[in-house]
Amino acid sequence: QVQLVESGGGSVQVGGSLRLSCTVSGITGSINYIAWFRQAPGKGREGVAIIYRTNSASNYADSVKGRFTISQDNAKNTVYLQMNSLKPEDAAVYYCAASTRWLYGLDQLSDRNYQYWGQGTQVTVSS
């Protein structure tokens, strides 16, 4: 089994920054991808960023390109999401998730392809 624990959420003003962390534990050798998703009230879950564990290749949703950066520290088994220039529409519960599948294109940011999920961390953006 794989466990994921998010941290780093909180409240920030528009234009501010936050860094989320996702610590991965358990049987992690089969994991190919770690991704961040978010879900705002009344909306579906949206894929935000993905990182390929082997070489740190990444991909982003258009809505966050140029503002968010996903990275990993393998020694700490932790994946980060650096969020800059935050907007009100970035407010949501953010989840990290892990996939053992081989994913391409749009499948990389589809929540149906992820088997393991964290409990989520709240991000609030105020004007």
Q: Is the pLDDT of residue 28 over 90?
A: no
Beta pairing class for 92-99 and 33-39: antiparallel
Taking the C-alpha atoms of residue 4 and residue 29, their distance in angstroms, rounded to an integer, is 14
Residue 116: per-residue pLDDT = 97
Q: Comparing C-alpha atoms, which of 79, 84, 75, 88 is closest to residue 36?
A: 79
Taking the C-alpha atoms of residue 49 and residue 64, their distance in angstroms, rounded to an integer, is 8
**pLDDT tens-digit series, residues 14-23:** 999 999 999 9
**SS3 for 112?**
helix
**pLDDT tens-digit series, residues 54-108:** 999 999 999 999 999 999 999 999 999 999 999 999 999 999 999 999 999 889 9
Query: How confident is the model over 43-52, as a mean pLDDT?
Result: 97
Residue 84: per-residue pLDDT = 98
